[in-house]
Amino acid sequence: MMSSPALAIIIVNYNTRDLLRDCLNSILESAGDFTYQVCVVDNNSSDGSAALVREAFPQVHLIESQVNGGYAYANNLGLRAMGFDYALPPDANYPSYALLLNSDTVLPPSALQDMLAFMEAHPQAGAAGPRLVLPDGQLDRACRRSFPTPEVACYRLTGLSLLFPRSQRFGRYNLSYLDPAETTEVDSVVGAFMMVRGQAIQQVGLLDEGFFMYGEDLDWAYRLKEAGWKVYYNADVTVLHYKEASSKGKRAIRLKTRYEFYRAMHLFYRKHYAATTPFWLHGLVLTGLVLRAGAALVGEGLRSLVTRG
């Protein structure tokens, strides 16, 4: 029988009070033989999210950040509060697993137990994530990904990944050629539900706070694999994900979201690939990023004008 691992659940929240309530309730309804603690890091919300946690969920550890420092920054606040610290000695006491969980997810009762069992059965797994589905039942394509190498990034930036999703060459960004029901080793899972082994965290360190939103999960997975760990997509566990709940709404937030997505791609590329990329391909990647980012920002601006008009 599997021993009871200690699980630290970190939820970063930004103005998603009602979804956060549903997420926390689903956690509290979890079944299984394991211990856990939940930490909510509120990123300076203005919708009463922190008050909700204080009043309705007193068993949850609440951190109220006075600034919105981004997703990686907030998760690191929670990870440190739960006992993870890169500076600690290898034999320090920290949870067996950490779970990065978005506030816009809803877990079935067996999800945590099943994911912990998967990690216990795969001791080489540094991280794993479940099948994430959107409210319409479609797969959240971000839940299993390849690293955006220069080649893969080019297929993404030129639209070939969308034109030929079943191609093993062009469909690598979201592994769209794979059956969603197939459990498999992948490059990365998404931070909306990313279970990470405590030992692996202590080995590679916390999230890179240079990423504001997007990219920090890819970077963490890259560092895990560099250290010899594996990353898995576990298709046998399904979790509902409303997706981008905190970035919907105001035009300024939507523009910030688009900007940060492409900034994260550029940062990841610069950090892990730029030094070894041929000059001609380096130019193509940077040009593609600039053109796609510009088109996305202009498109968002035009949509806002049409909506207001």
Give per-residue pLDDT as tens, 9-39.
999 999 999 999 999 999 999 999 999 999 9
pLDDT of residue 308: 45
Tokens of 120: 């216990």
Q: What is the pLDDT of residues 123-153, one digit of tens each?
A: 999 999 999 999 999 999 999 999 989 889 8
Mean pLDDT along residues 214-219: 95
251 confidence band (pLDDT: 50, 70, 90): low
Percent of the residues in the chain that have a pLDDT greater than 70, as a whole number? 89
Of 63-72, 158-167, 279-288, highest mean pLDDT: 63-72
Q: State the chain's mean pLDDT as an integer.
A: 89
Map out the domains of the chain as residue ranges: 6-145+187-243, 251-308
Q: Is residue 302 over pLDDT 90?
A: no
Q: What is the largest CA-CA distance in the chain?
A: 63
| Residue 265, CB-side half-sphere exposure with 13 Å CA sphere | 22
CB 200 within 8 A of CB 227: yes
Q: Between 307 and 88, whose confidence is greater?
A: 88
pLDDT of residue 158: 82
299 confidence band (pLDDT: 50, 70, 90): low
Torsion of CA 70, 75, 77, 81, to 10 degrees: 170
Rounded CA-CA distance 131/118 in Å is 13
Q: Between 228 and 299, whose confidence is greater?
A: 228
Q: Mapping DSSP to helix (H, G, I), strand (E, B) and coil, where does residue 81 land?
A: helix
Of 2-11, 178-187, 257-266, highest mean pLDDT: 178-187
pLDDT of residue 306: 42
Q: Is residue 309 over pLDDT 80?
A: no
Domain 6-145+187-243 is of which CATH architecture? Alpha-Beta Complex (3.90)
Q: Is residue 270 over pLDDT 50?
A: yes
Q: What is the pLDDT of residues 154-211, one digit of tens each?
A: 888 788 998 999 999 999 999 999 999 999 999 999 999 999 999 999 999 999 999 9
Q: Is residue 117 over pLDDT 90?
A: yes
Q: pTM of the prediction? A: 0.89
pLDDT of residue 266: 85
Mean pLDDT along residues 215-233: 97
86 confidence band (pLDDT: 50, 70, 90): low
pLDDT of residue 40: 98
Our measurement of the distance from residue 224's CA atom to the centroid of its chain's CA atoms, rounded to an integer in Å, reads 14
1 confidence band (pLDDT: 50, 70, 90): very low
Closest CA to 21 of 3, 45, 1, 2: 45
Mean pLDDT along residues 226-246: 92
Tokens of 135: 């409210």
